[in-house]
Structure 1
Amino acid sequence: MASDLSAPPVLSTPAEYTFIDDPTLSSTIAQTKQTKRSDDELYEVYEIARTAADIQQNGWRHIALQFPDAMLPDAPWIVNALRKELRSVAAHLQGDGEENEEKPAESQRLYILADTSYSACCVDEIAAEHANAEGVVHYGRACLSPTSRIPVIHIFTKQKLDYYTITESFEKEFQDKTDKVVVMADVMFQDHVLPICELLRERGYTTIIATEIVRDPTGPIPNRNIIFSATPSEDEIVHNLNEYHLFHISTPPTSLLMTLSSRLASLRIYSTPSSPYITDSTPLDPSATQSLLRRRYGLVIRLATASIIGILVNTLSVKNYMSTISTLKSQIAAAGKKSYTIVVGKLNAAKLANFAEIDGWVVVGCWESGLVEQEGLWKPVVTPFELGLALQGEESRVWTGEWWGGIEGVGTSWAEERSAESIAKQSQVEEDSAAAPDLYDIEGGVDDEESEPPEFDLRTGKLVSNSRPMRMAIRSVPRSGAETNDVLSSLNQTTASSAAIVRRAAGDVALVNGVASPGAEFLRSQRTWQGLGTEFGTEDDEDSTVVREGRSGVARGYTVGTDETRT
């Protein structure tokens, strides 16, 4: 049958699209269109002088330069300009006023990080360590999450704004000059906040509050500090933040949009041409945040009945990501569920689909990358804040409308409370087992799991019998007093020292090193491909098939055994 194809399909990005208009670019973050700028403009936009001065002051010899995709075309120019400026600064410090262009800059090396392991807003410490970098210069907008190992210089870049257009837009949004308004801007436009606030005060607005950048993702306004004014005071503004409106310059990322919408009275956005979070076809509307929050709550309900939860590590640079993982493990274990920690780099649906046994995911990332769009994903992916809601019981799960996307606000009080409840319940089981060791052999006897109220999926109304597999595992092992104590202690372990899978009898839970493993149970009972040499099966199964020598060589001429076959 003749094919309609006149040329082979495109399976990769064509060379002519490199660094320009990538047709494979994600729909959620649009690539900023490049405009031709002069050297003088680039020198000012990328703050070459300040960058060189800071590098020289810190004494760095190996420097990593991290760029978002939209700024990569300017990376070679920035490296050359930075080298010249570093020579000039070094010569000035040595008392030599003339710049020596012939002298190679061997004392300082610059490395371009052209691809980040996770989100572009986070500092890629892993890639920087591969280059033995002593510091990182991060260009473009940033989440400002504190790093754990390598110091960083943030260059947000200098962007121009038309003050007249902004003030006109502000007056259309707020016609009452007594309105309480907080003015905030993306980090790329932060330098314009104070001048704009002064213009608005000159036009008669009496309660205009300016903000400044501060590295505090857990603040009432993430990474922003309210500039102190006599009336009202800063404490009064923070305490009554829900009475203030927000005027945001440049479209914020979705996670920040949802956070701000849940804390302030209203949110108005002034879109800028170089906003990195908006496309021409899908602009973000602040009024859509309520529907977004309803969708997030729907994911919370889905995860409430999950039995196996994957802890998805989406950053290796945020300072407290390890302690957050430990907190999440404690929360999940206290709820009687099983957790697995997985690192996959940049997320996509194909990677997560490989883990079919995972019923839902919780992301360990910064406050921006912690929000993962659900499009194309098979299982729900939530933030640590949403996981805390999902693990609470139906009688205590109350959502006030507040939302948070990152790991910085993750506390341990709820985990400690649930852990205390779990320990107390396990102690009671031990006492009952010691007092009546034959309890589980009594016909019609009731154990701890059966005495708890049934759990239903609120979306489908069906009874869920396996939402707490780590508590159910207590019934699936021999019930002598010593063995019960061993099982109870093993249920608190979150990892096993060996991957050996123990064969189990019908009706029991698969164990790995004596610890109940829902993942191993899923492998035995539901996965169609179990790998070569698996120990699962019945006693009548034949031995594993002997491995035979197959084809070898390349596609133009395979070799099968001693015979050569041409294809």
Structure 2
Amino acid sequence: MADAFSSSSETVIQRVLEVSLKSNTPVDKLEELYQIKATCDFILEHQFAKVALQFPDELLGDSVAIAEEINRNTNVKTFILGDTSYGSCCVDEVAAEHVGADCIVHYGSACLSPSKRLPLMYVFERRPVDVDKCASSFRELYPDSQSNVVILYDVNYAHVVDDLVTLLSAEYPNLVSSQLVVEGERCYSHGFVKSNDSSPPEQDGSQVIYQFGRQFSLKTGSSITDYSMFYIGEEGAALRNFMMTWNRCSFCSFSPATTTGRAESISVNRALMKRYYSIERAKDASVVGILVGTLGVADYLTIIQQLKETIRRAGKKSYMFAMGKLNVPKLANFLEIDVYVLIACPENSLLDSSDFYKPVVTPFEMEVACNKQREWSEEYVTDFRRLLPGGQSHVPLADQQDESDETDVSLITGALRSHNLLNGEPAEAASSSSVVLRNQTLTVANTNSAASFLAGRSWRGLEQKLGDTPVVKAVEGRRGIAIAYEEEGTAS
């Protein structure tokens, strides 16, 4: 058997790799796990003709069998959406519109971000949970029966929460269970609460919390900081998002896979300081890249426009990128960008940028860096919709007439930096000049754009050089792969 470094290029190209695949679900278990009957009822009730079935990578093995069952019971045309443009937790409405689908059925984990283009139905996995062991772990983690605890959970474990509350409610009178709330008039979720109002009114004086597709009520006179959080699910983006947002609450979790519970010991303060370092990098930046990480979450175009204005008012240049799933090589192609801001759903916004050449921040962090009216505090916002006008965390920009040219010192470089470099300067004039006259504090201010950076690079990519290259006949080039071209012979 030839190895990967064989001198034969054909052997390497044709070599078969063994990849372990998840075994498919038996046909008799499909109804239990994927709610096929409820899905068919949803399709027939609304008389859809084309249905897009969106699956995450780990569930694609069952996609064909599910599509065949739906076709057999509804006689509709189904399309399977596999590799999504962005995170699989978000609804890929763009791909569904490409095939002319009338609705989307989203399977598996979901961030429950609102989508408004097409009718939508969520079908969560019914992952197994040992409810008795979960209750035992809860009692060990909260020995005080008077504890104020909110039960949170991954959407794939929603089917066991009622049974868990039944076991614990008699012992824990202050136990609060969150509910999944799907926002949007055209959004459906079989067996769960539906709501069209993202800001539910207070009921009987109690405070109603609605965030990240979860809704729960706090007792009268209490706040979220008076409660602890008990999370059912595995460690991942959802838990990290909850812990960063409610960073003043203690968290415990139960892993259904290992049937063990634990107190979360991750230092949230250390994570927040890491994020604050990224904010300082954003303050130092001159050129900002706006990464479009979603085309399905509602109001993503509005936050783009708000960010562009905020960045412009702070004297920085911005460029917009739409590149699908992010990776290090993609972002490394743009050396002129000092910092990136990612517009995505809450679960995908907290990107660990330690492997990237330049920091990747959230819209909230960019606003802290550019909007003088917003201050760094205990509040941390991962949902960009809360930053828009009318949102609970919206902070308007200061009037340009009231803005003063303030300077401060970078905590990273120790250099003096100035805000509002474009104050009083037309956008066209500022973008066309590399140096503009300033006040007595800073004589000149550099407003170089990415084009100026490109002009100063020693290598700018392939150039045509028309007239400089002689015309010659085409000749046959090398064949094979770089490790051993065919004309090089066999290495000894």
TM surpasses 0.5: yes
The reply on whether 1:524 has 2:437 as its aligned counterpart is no
Q: Is the CA contact (8 Å cut-off) linking 1:327 and 1:412 kept in structure 2?
A: no
Counterpart of 1:167 in structure 2 is 135
Distance of aligned partners of 1:416 and 1:461 in 2 relative to their CA distance in 1, 3 Å threshold? same
The reply on whether 1:240 has 2:242 as its aligned counterpart is no
Q: Is the CA contact (8 Å cut-off) linking 2:245 and 2:382 kept in structure 1?
A: no
Alpha-carbon offset, residue 58 of structure 1:
1.6
Q: Which amino acid aligns with 2:39?
A: T
- Stretches of structure 2 that go unaligned for 5 or more consecutive residues are 184-197, 200-208, 438-446, 480-486
Q: Is the CA contact (8 Å cut-off) linking 1:180 and 1:243 kept in structure 2?
A: yes
Alpha-carbon offset, residue 551 of structure 1:
7.0
Larger strand proportion of the pair: 2
Task: Find the partner of 1:269 among 253, 260, 282.
Answer: 253
Alpha-carbon offset, residue 530 of structure 1:
5.8
Counterpart of 1:462 in structure 2 is 415
Distance of aligned partners of 1:175 and 1:554 in 2 relative to their CA distance in 1, 3 Å threshold? farther
Distance of aligned partners of 1:469 and 1:528 in 2 relative to their CA distance in 1, 3 Å threshold? farther
Task: Find the partner of 1:322 among 285, 297, 301.
Answer: 301
Distance of aligned partners of 1:15 and 1:128 in 2 relative to their CA distance in 1, 3 Å threshold? farther
Given the two structures, how large is their TM-score scaled by the length of structure 2?
0.79
Distance 1:489 1:70 in 2: 48
Task: Find the partner of 1:183 among 108, 133, 151.
Answer: 151
Alpha-carbon offset, residue 356 of structure 1:
1.1
Distance 1:294 1:12 in 2: 49
The reply on whether 1:409 has 2:386 as its aligned counterpart is yes
Distance 2:58 2:397 in 1: 46
Alpha-carbon offset, residue 190 of structure 1:
1.0
Distance of aligned partners of 1:412 and 1:336 in 2 relative to their CA distance in 1, 3 Å threshold? farther
Distance 2:255 2:385 in 1: 28
Counterpart of 1:365 in structure 2 is 344
Q: Is the CA contact (8 Å cut-off) linking 1:361 and 1:381 kept in structure 2?
A: yes
The reply on whether 1:120 has 2:85 as its aligned counterpart is no
The reply on whether 1:78 has 2:66 as its aligned counterpart is yes
The reply on whether 1:52 has 2:40 as its aligned counterpart is yes
SS of the aligned residue for 1:183 comes to strand
Q: Which amino acid aligns with 1:519?
A: A
Alpha-carbon offset, residue 265 of structure 1:
2.3
Q: Is the CA contact (8 Å cut-off) linking 1:338 and 1:470 kept in structure 2?
A: no
Which residues in structure 2 correspond to 1:368-517 (within 5 Å)? 368-393=347-372, 398-412=375-389, 416-418=396-398, 420-421=399-400, 452-464=405-417, 470=422, 488=426, 490=428
Distance 2:12 2:256 in 1: 34
SS of the aligned residue for 2:109 comes to coil
Q: Is the CA contact (8 Å cut-off) linking 1:259 and 1:404 kept in structure 2?
A: no
The Cα offsets for residues 343-371 of structure 1, whole Å up to 9 and x where unpaired, read as 11110111111111111011111111222
Q: Which amino acid aligns with 2:42?
A: D
Q: Percent identity?
A: 29
Which residues in structure 2 correspond to 1:268-287 (within 5 Å)? 268-273=252-257, 285-287=264-266
Q: Is the CA contact (8 Å cut-off) linking 1:469 and 1:518 kept in structure 2?
A: no
Distance of aligned partners of 1:550 and 1:373 in 2 relative to their CA distance in 1, 3 Å threshold? farther
Distance 1:185 1:130 in 2: 33
Given the two structures, how large is their TM-score scaled by the length of structure 1?
0.69
The Cα offsets for residues 152-183 of structure 1, whole Å up to 9 and x where unpaired, read as 11101222211110011001100011101111
Counterpart of 1:249 in structure 2 is 232
Distance 1:161 1:554 in 2: 63
Matched pairs, number: 440
Q: Which amino acid aligns with 1:271?
A: S
Higher RCO (CA < 8 A, seq sep 6+) = 2
Q: Is the CA contact (8 Å cut-off) linking 1:312 and 1:364 kept in structure 2?
A: yes
Distance 1:398 1:243 in 2: 24
Alpha-carbon offset, residue 137 of structure 1:
0.8
Q: Which runs of 4+ in 1 moved over 6 A?
A: 7-13, 506-509
Give the greater-gyration-radius structure (CA).
1
Distance 1:179 1:10 in 2: 62
Alpha-carbon offset, residue 453 of structure 1:
4.7
Distance of aligned partners of 1:46 and 1:551 in 2 relative to their CA distance in 1, 3 Å threshold? farther
Which residues in structure 2 correspond to 1:205-354 (within 5 Å)? 205-215=172-182, 220-226=210-216, 233=219, 236=220, 240-251=223-234, 253-254=236-237, 256-263=239-246, 265-273=249-257, 285-354=264-333
SS of the aligned residue for 2:176 comes to strand
Q: Which amino acid aligns with 1:339?
A: S
Q: Is the CA contact (8 Å cut-off) linking 2:25 and 2:62 kept in structure 1?
A: no
Counterpart of 2:101 in structure 1 is 133
Q: Which amino acid aligns with 1:348?
A: N
The reply on whether 1:146 has 2:118 as its aligned counterpart is no
Distance of aligned partners of 1:225 and 1:165 in 2 relative to their CA distance in 1, 3 Å threshold? same
Alpha-carbon offset, residue 555 of structure 1:
4.1
SS of the aligned residue for 1:189 comes to helix
Alpha-carbon offset, residue 256 of structure 1:
4.6
Q: Is the CA contact (8 Å cut-off) linking 1:255 and 1:405 kept in structure 2?
A: no
Q: Is the CA contact (8 Å cut-off) linking 2:311 and 2:317 kept in structure 1?
A: yes
Distance 2:395 2:471 in 1: 53
Counterpart of 2:444 in structure 1 is none
Distance of aligned partners of 1:517 and 1:130 in 2 relative to their CA distance in 1, 3 Å threshold? farther
Q: Is the CA contact (8 Å cut-off) linking 1:338 and 1:469 kept in structure 2?
A: no
Distance of aligned partners of 1:141 and 1:361 in 2 relative to their CA distance in 1, 3 Å threshold? same
Distance 1:273 1:317 in 2: 31
Distance 1:13 1:381 in 2: 38
The Cα offsets for residues 114-135 of structure 1, whole Å up to 9 and x where unpaired, read as 2100000011112111211111
- Stretches of structure 1 that go unaligned for 5 or more consecutive residues are 21-33, 87-104, 276-282, 426-447, 475-486, 494-501, 510-515, 534-542, 558-565
Distance of aligned partners of 1:256 and 1:403 in 2 relative to their CA distance in 1, 3 Å threshold? farther
Distance of aligned partners of 1:355 and 1:284 in 2 relative to their CA distance in 1, 3 Å threshold? farther
SS of the aligned residue for 2:159 comes to helix
Which residues in structure 2 correspond to 1:65-104 (within 5 Å)? 65-86=53-74
Alpha-carbon offset, residue 54 of structure 1:
0.5
Q: Which amino acid aligns with 1:188?
A: N
Alpha-carbon offset, residue 17 of structure 1:
1.4
Counterpart of 1:17 in structure 2 is 19
Q: Is the CA contact (8 Å cut-off) linking 1:366 and 1:408 kept in structure 2?
A: no
Distance of aligned partners of 1:552 and 1:170 in 2 relative to their CA distance in 1, 3 Å threshold? farther
Q: Is the CA contact (8 Å cut-off) linking 1:186 and 1:252 kept in structure 2?
A: no
Distance of aligned partners of 1:130 and 1:411 in 2 relative to their CA distance in 1, 3 Å threshold? closer
Counterpart of 1:437 in structure 2 is none
Q: Which amino acid aligns with 1:254?
A: A
Q: Which amino acid aligns with 1:215?
A: V
Q: Is the CA contact (8 Å cut-off) linking 1:247 and 1:267 kept in structure 2?
A: yes
